[in-house]
Structure 1
Amino acid sequence: MPHLRIAPEGIGLHLWLVPERKPPQPIEIDDLDISDDLADRIEAWGDAFDAVIDDSLPPATGFPSPEAEIVWRAEGQLIAAALKDELGAEWEIETRF
């Protein structure tokens, strides 16, 4: 069963293919068989995370408000459900955010 992890771990690194007994590998949105609308949602969601990363001062990384983070996390869960729907039951979708 293919395993996809949604886990922002740096600028542009949001989706990971998790093979059995091997380290996760980043995967590009274009490499998934999903609709353009869902790809656009994932891109916008990832951009929102990238906008709050401060690589030079990790403790300064954060959303402008708790509400903004709640909205971002909720959209991530909706994206995970949409990925499961579009990719099919044979895919395992995991979230880490």
Structure 2
Amino acid sequence: MPHLRIALEGIGEHFWLVPDNKPAISIEPDDLELSDDLLDRIEAWSDTFDAILDPVDPKSSQFPTPEAEIVWRAEGHAIAAAIRAELGDEWEVEARF
């Protein structure tokens, strides 16, 4: 079963293919068979995170308000659910954020 991980590892590196017993491989959402509408949502969601990420000190990265972070996380979980629905039961989709 293919395993997709959504995890924020750096600017633009948010989607990972996780093979059995091997390191995860960064992939682009465009490489998956997802609808254009979902790809647009993913791009906006990713851009929001990339805009606040401090690549020199990632742990100091912060959203402008706690509410903005709550909204961003909720959209991420909704996106993960939409990806699961579009890819089907033959994929495992994991969200880590």
Q: TM-score, normalised by structure 1?
A: 0.96
User: What does residue range 46-85 of structure 1 map to in structure 2 within 5 Å?
Assistant: 46-85=46-85
Percent identity (aligned): 67
1:60 to partner: Cα distance: 2.9
Equivalent position SS for 2:72: helix
Q: Which has the higher strand share?
A: 2
Residues 55-94 of structure 1: per-residue CA shift (max 9 Å, x gap): 1333431101110000000000000000000000110000
Structure 1 runs of 4+ aligned residues shifted over 2 Å read 56-60
| Structure 2: tracts of 5 or more residues without a match | none
Equivalent position SS for 2:62: coil
| Structure 1: tracts of 5 or more residues without a match | none
Q: Give the Cα separation in 1 of the matches to 2:42 and 2:66.
A: 21
In structure 2, the residue matched to 1:93 is 93
Cα root mean square deviation, aligned:
0.9
Q: TM-score, normalised by structure 2?
A: 0.96
How many matched pairs?
Answer: 97
Q: Give the Cα separation in 1 of the matches to 2:17 and 2:92.
A: 10
Equivalent position SS for 1:43: helix
1:53 to partner: Cα distance: 0.5
Q: Give the Cα separation in 1 of the matches to 2:26 and 2:59.
A: 24
